[in-house]
Chains A and B, each alone.
Chain A
Amino acid sequence: MQFYIVYIREAHALDSRAPMTFGSVEDPIDLKERTLVASKCVKDLDLPMEALVDRLDDAVNLAYGGWPDRLYLVGRDGKIAYAGGKGPFEFRPEELEQAIEREMAVAKAPVDHPANEKKH
């Protein structure tokens, strides 16, 4: 099981339309700045997983609708196993946990299951 934070555009940068002074973050103007804020976030919140940093074109954010926050599980087959709702109100870690359980149940299918046979 692999976890990644995908660090995206700030939700409440000081120069955004909905500023918050928590963290006093100005909207990063280059990847280096966004990386610094991402690292500070991981450190300050003591988050136990690696962070990946979306580039300033917000391409991955836009592809997944990540802003302001959202959860996904990508299955071993490369398909979306769980697509969470838009945060903050639909950001539901318990749903992700249930999705992980289902995904791991598939992984523990019997060895002689056709899906697990190696192709010759």
Chain B
Amino acid sequence: MHALSIPSRWSALLLALGLYAPADAQRFGIDESVWSYLAEKYDQNKDGRIEPAEYDRGAEKFAAYDRDGDGVVSEADFAADAAGRGATNRRRAGRELLGQVARRADADRDETVSRAEWSAYVTGLAADAAKGVDLAALLPAPTRPGRAPRGARGPAQDPRVLLEALDADKDGVLHRDELRELFPQLDANRDAKLAGTELGIAPKLPRAGDIAPDFDLPLAKDTTKSVKLSGFREKKPVALIFGSYT
């Protein structure tokens, strides 16, 4: 089948990879199943509520489960109509969208946004400080004429997501001063400019011909031993299969 003789064990390995790629998620009944799992594992006194003291994997993860924000994790947090879940999803989508919103201020297209660019952009959107900003004008432009950007049908393109993320005084209107605050919010490294992941720009990945980023990682079967990628240079090619169980 192949012009070169490839040992059959490689074909078997690669077939295994095909089986290893995650299947499409089955979403129906997921919330029920997640609650059952959590209740079984954490609800020690079986009162139908998981208190913070019963959960030992950190406050952030607990808060992620506690969608209705009542301080406990219960079946109510997994209700199909959970407005809490909708709000959580919108908050997450809002954080993703904010970087894209900030990128619209990149006037010189150098993939960074300086304070000056941001100030000019915000002033241009709303010259009158008292007047609200047009939320639709903040959304990322479509990548092709007539075609909505990826995710347009989801919460990520909903202008209300922006309001929820930026409307500090919760008056239902996004004012210029509130929008200005987006810059310090995104400037995680405090270098007075927005760049890279601060703008939601994914890091450049290695391409064919690039030097492979080196690493030194522990073996799963014995974490006292590690493998350094560069140790294979001039010896063997190395196939890397990135993935996880779920």
Closest to A78 in B: B233
* Min distance, Cβ B171 to any Cβ of chain A, angstroms: 29
Please pick, from A7, A48, A61, the residue contacting B12 in the complex, using a CB distance under 8 A.
A48
Complex: A103 Cα to B203 Cα, angstroms: 27
Complex: A11 Cα to B22 Cα, angstroms: 9
Please pick, from B25, B61, B208, B220, the residue contacting A18 in the complex, using a CB distance under 8 A.
B25
A74 engages B17 (CB within 8 Å): no
**How many A residues, CB 8 Å from partner?**
87
B227 engages A4 (CB within 8 Å): yes
B61 engages A15 (CB within 8 Å): yes
Q: Mark B205-234, 1 if CB is under 8 A from A, else 0.
A: 111111111010111110100010110111
A87 engages B243 (CB within 8 Å): yes
Given A21-B33, A31-B223, A65-B205: A78 touches B245 (CB 8 Å cut-off): no
Given A6-B217, A31-B218, A74-B212: A69 touches B21 (CB 8 Å cut-off): yes
B203 engages A62 (CB within 8 Å): yes
B10 engages A1 (CB within 8 Å): yes
A1 engages B239 (CB within 8 Å): yes
Complex: A72 Cα to B245 Cα, angstroms: 19
Complex: A55 Cα to B55 Cα, angstroms: 23
Complex: A12 Cα to B21 Cα, angstroms: 13
Q: A113 within 8 Å of B by Cβ?
A: no
Please pick, from B14, B65, B212, the residue contacting A96 in the complex, using a CB distance under 8 A.
B14
Contact residues, B1-51 vs A (CB, 8 A): 2-4, 6, 9-26, 30, 33-34, 37-38
Given A48-B12, A74-B240, A100-B10: A83 touches B211 (CB 8 Å cut-off): no
Q: B170 within 8 Å of A by Cβ?
A: no
Closest to B26 in A: A20
* Min distance, Cβ B30 to any Cβ of chain A, angstroms: 6
- Residue among B3, B12, B57 facing the most chain A CB atoms (10 A cut-off): B57
A73 engages B206 (CB within 8 Å): no
Complex: A8 Cα to B244 Cα, angstroms: 6
Residues of A within 8 A of B242 (CB): 5-6, 8, 61, 64, 66-67, 69-72
Closest to B15 in A: A93
B246 engages A10 (CB within 8 Å): yes
Closest to A107 in B: B237
25 contacts between A and B (CB under 8 A): A1-B236, A2-B236, A6-B240, A6-B242, A7-B244, A18-B25, A20-B30, A25-B246, A35-B223, A38-B220, A38-B245, A47-B20, A50-B220, A50-B221, A52-B217, A72-B206, A73-B237, A74-B212, A80-B211, A83-B205, A91-B21, A93-B15, A93-B21, A100-B239, A101-B6
Q: Which residues of A contact B (CB under 8 A)?
A: 1-15, 17-27, 29, 31-32, 35, 37-42, 44-55, 59-83, 87-88, 91, 93-94, 96-97, 100-101, 103-105, 107-108
